[in-house]
Structure 1
Amino acid sequence: MAGGLELKTPFGTIYSTNITPDPKTGIGKYSFEQFDRAMRKGVAADGHNLYPAMPYPSYAKMTKDDMQALFAYLNAGVAPVVQPNRASDMKFPFNMRWGLGLWNAVFLDDKPFQPDTKKSAEFNRGAYIAQGLGHCGSCHTPRGMAFQEKTMGHLGGNGDKYLAGFTFDAWHAVNLRSLWTPADIVSLLKTGRSQYGTAAGSMTEVITHSTQHFTDGDLAALAAYLHALPTDDKNRVARKQAPAPVAATDKAMYNSRGGLGYVQFCATCHRRDGRGVGEIFPTLAGNDSVQSKDPTTVIHIALSGWQSAVTQTSPRSFGMPSYATLSDNELSEILTFVRTQWGNRGEPVTPKQIAKVREELKLQQLAGSDTKTPRFAALLKEQNAPQLVQGMRLMTETRQLLPKHVGNDINCSSCHLNGGTVAKGSPFLGVSAFFPAEAPRAGRVINLAERINGCFKRSMNGSPLPLEGVEMKAMVAYMDWMKGEYRPGDKVPGRGVAMIDRSIVPNPENGKKIYSEHCAVCHGANGEGIADANKTPVFPPLWGDRSFNIGAGMARTYTAAGFVKANMVMGHGQKFPLGQGNLSDQEAVDVAEYFSHMPRPDFPEKVKDWPKGGKPKDARY
C-alpha cells in the first residue's frame, strides 16, 4: 500500500500514493472526515484535487459503515511504510489541478448507493459491489471526451452503456452485460478462468489481489447482477455450457498461411481444435475476448504474451510467450484464423490493426526480427507443397496419422519441438545436409530415412516405415526443405539441445521433487502424460508402457537434461517460442536422471548398438 504504481493515461502518467498509516508520507494523520472526503470527492487532506485515476466517483457510492471499516483497516491492519510520493508527470494543461474542480462539478455524483427497491437483495448487493468498491466501470464502461465514465450505473439516460465494454491502453475490456451464466462469472472471478477462457492483462491483477478473496455470497451477488443486465446484442445469449467443438477444415488449417502459422506457433498449447488444455492453457474456441468485435486484446496478448492469475485454487501461473518477433502480416493471418475457426464469429484482423497496437506497446523494433525460424506457411509456395505439408503433419501428428507404426503416445514433435523449428529443441534445420553419415550407435553409415526409422523403433517404440513409401518420402522431403542453405560441415546455430556439463553428479531425489513441482502438471503425477476429453494424448508420457523405450536418446540422462534445460518448463514464463528454460544445469540433470530411469519398455535390438565401442556412460543398457 506504499504507492508508486505507474498509471498511464492519455494525459500523462500518474503514480499511486502512499496510503499506509505512516504519519509523514502516508495517511497516518488523516482524520476520518478527511479520508471520507478524499474517497468521495477526490480532495486530499491538504486540499489538492486528486486525479480520478483514483476511482473516487465509484467509491462515493460506499456506505458510511463500509467507509469507516476501510479507514480502520488502513490505520490498524496495514504496516506503516516511509516512502515519499512520486510527483505525477501530466501534460499541460492537465498538470494544472484546479481544472479537476471543474471536472468534479460536471461529472461527479457523490451520492451514496441507492438500492433498487424493485430488485432482490442479492441484485442490489451485486450492484453495490460493481458500482462502488469493485469500480468495475473504470475499465468496462465507455468514457467520454473528458475521460469520464459515461454512466456510473445501469439506471438513467446512459444506463445501457454501463459495463458495455471499452478499449484503452491497448486492451479491450469486454462487455460484461449478460455475458455468461452466474456460475461462469463466479469461476472467472475466483480462479481466473472459466469454460470460455481466462483473464488477461490487468484483470489478472484484479483476480489475484481482489476478487478471489470475495466471500462466496458476494461473488454470487456480483455474478447475479452482471447476468441480469440487459444487452442489445441479439446474438448474445447467456450460455449454459461451451459450444460443441467445430473442427477447422483441412483446407483452413493446412492450406492457408494463417492455419499453418497457427499449427506452428499456437497448436502445442491451444491444440488444433482450439480447446486448449484443461486448467493449463485456455480455450480459443468460443472465447469472447478472442472473437470480440474489437480485436485489441487478442492482438495485445499475441504481441506481449500472457500470464495467468495466481489464485488459491490455481497457485501456479502459466505463461504464453510474446510473438512480437512475427511480422504484422504473419500475426494478422494467424489471428484471423483463430477468430474465424471452431465456430468463432470474429472478423479478420488486418496488418494495420497489428501495427497500431504494436506502436502503442512500443514493440515495433521487434517486427520481423525472427528470420531464422522456418515458417510452415512458406511451404505453400513450393512446387511440392502437398508433399511438404504431409511431411510436416507426419512429424507433428505422428501417432494419429501412422498408428500402425507408433507403439506409444509419442509424436516426432514431442522431441523435435514445433515440427523441428525450435532452436535447441532438436531442430531439423540443416539436418539433412549431414546425411548419409557415420552413426556410432549403428556402427555404420546410414541415410536420413534410416535415421528416421530409428526414432520409430526407439522413441516411438514402434515399427519402421517402408523406405520407399509415400510417408517416408514426405518426411524426408520435409526435412530436405528444412535444410535451407546449409551444407555438409556447416555450423548450424541452435542445433541439437543445450550443452550440459557431464561431470555434474545427478541427484534423483531432488529430481523427484522438481518433477512434482514443475513437470507433473503436464506429464502426469506418475509420468503417464495427459490427454484431452477424447483421451487423445496432449503432452507425452515420460515413463511407463506408453513412453519411449530404453533405446531412445531421451532415456539417457545428459541428453534428456540438455533438452529439459533448453525447453522446459513450458508455460513457466514468456520467452519465445514456448516460454522455456528456467531450470539450472544441476536441476535439469537431477530431473532427467529421475524420469529417464523410471520403468519403460525394453528395446530388444539394444544388443546391436555401438558394435565398434564408444557407448555413452549414461546409456540405459
Structure 2
Amino acid sequence: MTTYSPRALFLAVTALLVSVATTNAVASKAPGQDNALAPAIIDDLPANYAADLDGDTRRLVERGRYIARLGDCVACHTASDKRKPMAGGLALETPFGVLYSTNITPDDETGIGRYSFEQFDRAMRKGVAADGHNLYPAMPYPSYARITNEDMHALYAYLMEGVSPVRQPNRPLEMGFPFNQRWGLSMWNWMFLDDQVFTANPEQSDAWNRGAYIVQGLGHCGACHTPRGIGFQEKTLSEAGRHGSHFLAGETVEGWRALSLRNLWTPEQTAEMLKTGRNSHGTVSGNMVDVVQHSTQYMDDQDLRAVGLYLKSLPASEHDQPLQVVQGPVPAITPVSASSAGALPVDLLTSRGGLGYQQFCADCHRSDGAGVHGVFPPLAGNPVLRSEDPSTLVHITLTGWRSAQTASHARGLTMPSFARLSDQEITDILNFTRRAWGNSVVQAIRPTLVADMRKRLDVRTQDNRPFETPRLADLLKEPNAGQLVLGAQLNTHTHELLPANVGNALNCASCHLNAGTVADGSPYVGVSAFFPSYAPRAGRVISLEERINGCFLRSMNGKPLPLESTEMKAMVAYFDWMKRETRPADKVEGRGVGKIDTSIVPNLENGEKLYAVQCALCHGNDGEGIRNASGKWVYPPLWGDDSFNLGAGMARTYTAAAFVKQNMPIAFKDHFPLGQGGLTDQEAVDVAAYFSHKPRPDFAGKVRDWPKDKKPVDARY
C-alpha cells in the first residue's frame, strides 16, 4: 500500500487542483515497443474531416488541429490503451482518489457534440461545463484563458468537424469527501483565476510575443514549472507584474523536479529539445516525455524558436532553485593510465560511487560523462544532475526512464529501474555523478532521501531470480584491491590499455557485459572454478590463462598476453574474486548466454531490417561501429577489419543469436542493468545470421579447431 508524507500530500493536492503533472500519472507504453520492426511514430491526434467540408472550413479545422497539438489535448483526453483518441477515460491518480479525463469528441450524448461555441469558450477560459458544474483545474483553464478568440474558434471547429464522435460515457470521480465537492472551485476561481486573453507586449518583437503566447497559454508550461501559492495556484501566469519573477522558476511535483526554464538554454537548444526530446545537455524525462511525443515535436520550426527566444529572455530569478555549482576551476582529472582511456574523474576507480558508476552507468553515459551523441544523454553539465533538488535524478534511478519517441528519433530508448541497488549504493553513485566532470553540486544526497522516495513511489523490484550481481565497489574491501581494480579495468578498456595485444575495437566487456557481472551476459561469476577444463575446440584440457588468450586471438583478433605479465595476473585475480564459493560440480545461475534452437532457419532479409531498426544506432549503418568526437571507440564494429575474426564464437550464427536474444539491443526493454533483450528467438537468429556472415578478418589457427570433436553446425569454416 502506498503511503504519503506531508510533502507528498501537499504536492498531490497541487496536482489535483492545478497542475497538469497529474495528466500523465498513468504512464503510457511507448509506441512500437512490442514490435521490434515497428518503432515508427504513431500519430494519435485524429484528422477525420467530414467529406463535405469546404476549403475555408477545412483550413480552419486544420488550424484547430495544430492548436490542439499546442495544447496537448490528446495526452489527457485519451485512455492509456490509445484506442479511442479524445474519448477520455485516462486515470489521473491522486492520494485522495482518481479523476478521469472527459470525452471531448463531438458525440451528442457522451461528448461535447451539443456544446455551443459560447459554452465551449466558457469551459476553456473559466472551467465551467455546459451544465454549469465546475471543472477541476487539472484541465489547465487558467492558462487556456489566454488563447485568442481566433484560435479558440479554430480549436472548436477541429473538435466538432475533425474528430469522429465516440459514444463513451464519462467515468465518475473516485474521490471521497471533501475532494468530491466542486462548490469550492467557484471560490478558487474568484480568488485566483485571471481569464484575460493574451495581450502582446508592443516593446517586444513578433517572435518574442508568439513565444510568450504559446508558453503562457496553450503550452501551459507554468502548470509544472511555476511555484505554487497557498491556494495551490500558480503564483503568476506571466513574466509581468509584481510576482513575475516567480514565472517558470521551477517546482517539484510528485517526485519530479520541473526545472527553472528562465534563461536555461539558447533558443536553438530549446527548440531542439522540444522537437526531438534531447539536446547536447540531456533528454526529457518524466511527464515531459509525453509532452514532446504528443505535442511539441509537431510544432513548426518558427514556433519552436519563438518559444526558445522567449524563455531565453527571462532573466534568472531569485526564486529559481538554480543549477548550483561551485565556482572555480574544474576538479582535477587524470587518465586511467599512460595509454589513457580518456579524461576521467580522479576517483572513478578509487571510490564506491565511481566504481558503481563504471559498472552500472558507463556503458551508456560513458566514463567521461559525455554520453553518446544522438543516443544516450551526457551527464557532464546535465541540468538534472546539477539541480540542487535531486528529485528527478532519484526518481529516474528508482523507477527507470524512457526517451521521447519522435520523428527524428523513432527508436525509443529505455533506462531500467535500479531499485535493486541499496539506498547507500544509489546515494554513492548519484553523489559521484553530481561532483564529477565539473558538476560539483554543493548539497549531497543522503540515503534517507532515497529511502523516502522509494517508499513514496512504492517502488518494487520484479526480478526474483537467484543470480547475485557482483558489485565492483566491493573490490575496494580486498587486500589486493589495486590488482582487482586493474583486472576490472582491463575488461572494460581492453583495446585502449593493451594496444599491443588487441587488434580491433573490442573490449572483453563487449561480450562479457558490465565487466562480466550481468546474468546471461557471459558473466565471470564462478568461472575460474571450472578451469583447467576440457575445451572441444582445442581438443584438450586448457587453463584459465589459455582461455583468456583465446579471446585475445579470436574475439579481439590480436596477440596473447604473457602468462606472467601483470595484466594476466590481474585478470585471473579478478576472475578468482568472482569465484566465490563455486565448486567445479556446481551449476551457476546466469552463466553463459543460454541456447538457441539450431533448427531455426534464418531469414536474412528480416535480419537486415532488424539490424537497421535496432542495431545500427550503436553499431553503425554498415556495421562500422561508433566513435566519439575525439575518435575513440564507443561501440564496436560488428563486421569489417576492426571487428572479431572468423574464429570467434560470435562469428557463429547460433552462438551470436543466443547472445543477442539475452543481451541486445540495450535500452530496448526494462531488464536490469542495461534495459537489454526483447527480440524473439527467430528475430535473434535472423539478425545474428545477417551480421555474423558479413566480411571479417580470417583466423589462421582455424585449421587446428575441433581436432577430436564434432564441429558445430554454424561454424564458418
Return the TM-score normalized by structure 2: 0.84
User: After alignment, is 120-129 or 247-256 more displaced?
Assistant: 247-256
Post-superposition offset of 1:11: 4.7
Distance 1:442 1:383, change over 3 A: same
Closer/same/farther in 2, CA of residues 369 and 171 from structure 1, 3 Å limit: farther
- Asked if the contact 1:299/1:354 (under 8 Å) is kept, the reply is yes
What does residue 101 of structure 1 align with? 186
Cα deviation for residue 508 of structure 1 reads 2.0
Residue 569 of structure 1 is matched in structure 2 by 665
Question: 2 CA distance for matches of 1:68 and 1:169?
Answer: 35
d(CA) in 1 for partners of 2:567, 2:598: 37
Distance across 2 between alignment mates of 1:19 and 1:551: 62
**Distance in 2, Cα, partners of 1:67 & 1:432:** 71
- The one-letter amino acid of 1:591's match is V
Partner Cα separation in structure 2 for residue 363 and residue 370 of structure 1:
20
Q: Could you say if the C-alpha distance between residues 244 and 536 of structure 1 is closer, same or farther in structure 2, counting changes exceeding 3 Å?
A: farther
**Which whole-Å deviations, capped at 9, do the CAs of 1:217-254 have from their partners, x for residues lacking one?**
211211111000011369979xxxxx999857564100
1:40 to 125, 128, 133: 125
| Aligned equivalent of 2:622, options 526, 538, 544 | 526
Residue from 91, 108, 124 that aligns with 2:209: 124
Question: Using CA pairs below 8 Å that are at least 6 residues apart, which structure has the higher relative contact order?
Answer: 2
1:330 and 2:425 correspond:
yes
**Is 1:341 matched up with 2:421?**
no
Quick one: distance in 2 between partners of 1:88 and 1:227?
A: 40
8 Å CA contact 2:274, 2:297 repeated in 1: yes
**333-342 or 111-120, larger mean C-alpha shift:** 111-120
Counterpart contact for 1:21–1:78, Cα < 8 Å: yes
Map 1:53-68; keep pairs closer than 5 Å.
53-68=138-153
Q: Cα distance 1:137–1:510, how it changes in 2: closer, same or farther (>3 A)?
A: same
Contact 1:328 / 1:367 at 8 angstroms: preserved in 2?
A: no
1:513 to 609, 614, 630: 609
Does the residue aligned with 1:461 lie in a helix, a strand or coil? coil
Work out the CA distance in 2 between the residues paired with 1:471 and 1:306: 37
Which amino acid is 2:583 matched to? R
The amino acid across from 2:657 in the alignment is A
Give the Cα separation in 2 of the matches to 1:308 and 1:250: 27
Note the alpha carbon deviations across 1:62-108, whole angstroms, 9 max, x for none. Answer: 11111111111111111111111122233431211111111111111
User: Is 1:465 the equivalent of 2:561?
Assistant: yes
1:92 paired residue number: 177
1:322 corresponds to which letter in structure 2?
Answer: S
Residue 267 in structure 1 maps to residue 352 in structure 2: no
Q: Give, in whole Å, the separation in 1 of the partners of 2:300 and 2:689.
A: 45
Equivalent-residue separation in structure 1 for 2:268 and 2:602 (angstroms) = 47
Match of 2:386, SS?
coil
- In 2, the alpha carbon distance for the partners of 1:138 and 1:235 equals 17
Choose 151-160 or 6-15, whichever is displaced more: 6-15
Give the structure 2 partner of residue 201 of structure 1: 286
Structure 1 counterpart of 2:403, one-letter code: S
Q: Report matched runs for 1:8-27 at 5 Å.
A: 8-9=93-94, 11-27=96-112
Shift of 1:155: 1.1
Q: What does residue 620 of structure 1 align with?
A: 716
Give 3-state SS (helix, strand or coil) of 1:254's partner: coil
Going from structure 1 to structure 2, the CA distance change for 1:339 and 1:400 (only over 3 Å counts) comes to same
Determine if the alignment matches structure 1 residue 537 to structure 2 residue 622. no
Give 1:183's aligned residue.
268
Distance, in Å, in 2 between the alignment partners of 1:465 and 1:548 is 17
2:393 aligns with: 298
Q: Tell me whether 148-157 or 262-271 shows the greater mean CA deviation.
A: 148-157
Q: TM-score, normalised by structure 1?
A: 0.96
Deviation at 1:8, TM superposition (A): 3.3
> 2-side partners of 1:543 and 1:367: how far apart?
34
| Alignment correspondent of 2:309 | 224
1:310 paired with 2:401, answer: no
**Match of 2:677?**
581
Query: Structure 1 residue 580: deviation in Å?
Result: 1.6
Mapped to 2, the partners of 1:199 and 1:245 lie a distance apart of 27
Aligned counterparts of 1:617 and 1:326: Cα–Cα separation in 2? 41
Give me the whole-angstrom Cα distance separating, in 2, the residues matched to 1:118 and 1:10: 45
Q: Identity of counterpart residues, as a percentage?
A: 62
Q: How much has 1:463 moved relative to structure 2? A: 0.3
Correspondence 1:441 to 2:526: no
**Secondary structure of the residue that 1:445 maps to in structure 2?**
strand
SS of equivalent to 1:66: helix
| 2:54 counterpart residue number | none
Any idea what the Cα deviations from partners look like across 1:573-616, whole Å, max 9, x if unmatched? 22211112211111111111111111111111111111113211
Match of 2:593 in 1: 497
- Please give the alpha-carbon distance, in whole angstroms, between the structure 2 residues aligned to 1:58 and 1:11: 25
Superposed CA deviations along residues 183-234 of structure 1, whole A, max 9, x for unmatched, are 1001101111111001111101111111111122211211111000011369
Matched residue SS, 1:564: helix
Structure 2 contact 249–321 (Cα < 8 Å) conserved: no
Residue aligning to 1:240: none
- Cα distance in 2, alignment partners of residues 289 and 613 from structure 1: 56
The answer for the alignment partner of 2:380 in structure 1 is 285
1:396 matched to which residue of 2?
492
Change (3 A) 1:121 1:245: farther
> 2-side partners of 1:246 and 1:294: how far apart?
25
Instruction: Please report how far the alpha carbon of residue 348 of structure 1 lies from its aligned counterpart in structure 2 after TM superposition.
Output: 2.0
Whole-angstrom CA distance in 2 between matches of 1:120 and 1:8: 41
Paired AA for residue 649 in structure 2 = G
- 2-structure distance, mates of 1:403, 1:421: 24
Query: Given that residues 340 and 348 in structure 1 are in contact (C-alpha distance below 8 angstroms), is that contact kept between their aligned partners in structure 2?
Result: no
State yes or no: 1:604 paired with 2:604: no
State the alpha-carbon separation in 1 of the partners of residues 275 and 559 from structure 2. Answer: 48
SS at match of 1:253: coil
Q: Aligned pair 1:148/2:243, yes or no? A: no
Show CA shifts across 1:20-61 (max 9, x none). Answer: 111111101111111011111101111111000100000111
Q: 1:564 to 1:551 in 2, by over 3 A?
A: same
For residues 481 and 220 of structure 1, the distance between their equivalents in structure 2, rounded to whole angstroms, comes to: 55
Deviation at 1:510, TM superposition (A): 2.0
Instruction: Report the Cα distance in structure 2 between the residues aligned to 1:32 and 1:485, rounded to whole angstroms.
Output: 75
Give the unaligned 5+ runs of structure 2.
Answer: 1-85, 324-328, 334-342
Q: What amino acid is aligned across from residue 232 of structure 2 in structure 1? A: F
Gaps in structure 1 of 5+ consecutive residues: 238-242
The 8 Å contact of residues 264 and 311 in structure 2, kept in 1 or not, is answered as yes
How big is the shift at 1:352?
1.3
C-alpha contact 2:321 2:387 (8 A) present in aligned 1: no
Question: Which residue does the alignment assign to 1:51?
Answer: 136
CA RMSD, aligned part only? 1.9
Change (3 A) 1:380 1:244: closer
Q: Which amino acid aligns with 1:256?
A: S
1:252 is paired with a residue whose SS is coil
Q: Alpha-carbon deviations, 1:373-421, whole Å to 9, x = none?
A: 0000111101111000000000111011101100000000000000011
1:516 positional shift:
1.6
- Quote the residue 2:27 is aligned against: none
Match of 2:522 in 1: 426
SS in structure 1 opposite 2:218? coil
> Partners in 2 of 1:368 and 1:560 — Cα distance?
27
Shift of 1:422: 0.6
Give the paired residue count: 616
Task: Indicate conservation of the 8 Å contact 1:325/1:369, yes or no.
Answer: no
Structure 1 residue 82 and structure 2 residue 200: aligned?
A: no
* Partner amino acid, structure 2, of 1:224: L
The C-alpha deviation readout for 1:480-506, integer Å capped at 9, x for no partner, is 011112111101111110221111122
In structure 2, relative to structure 1, the CA distance for the partners of 1:509 and 1:381 (3 Å cut) is same
Q: Is the 8 A contact 2:384 2:393 kept in 1?
A: yes
C-alpha distance in structure 1 between counterparts of 2:611 and 2:412, whole Å: 16
Are the aligned partners of 2:260 and 2:322 in contact in 1 as well (CA < 8 Å)?
no
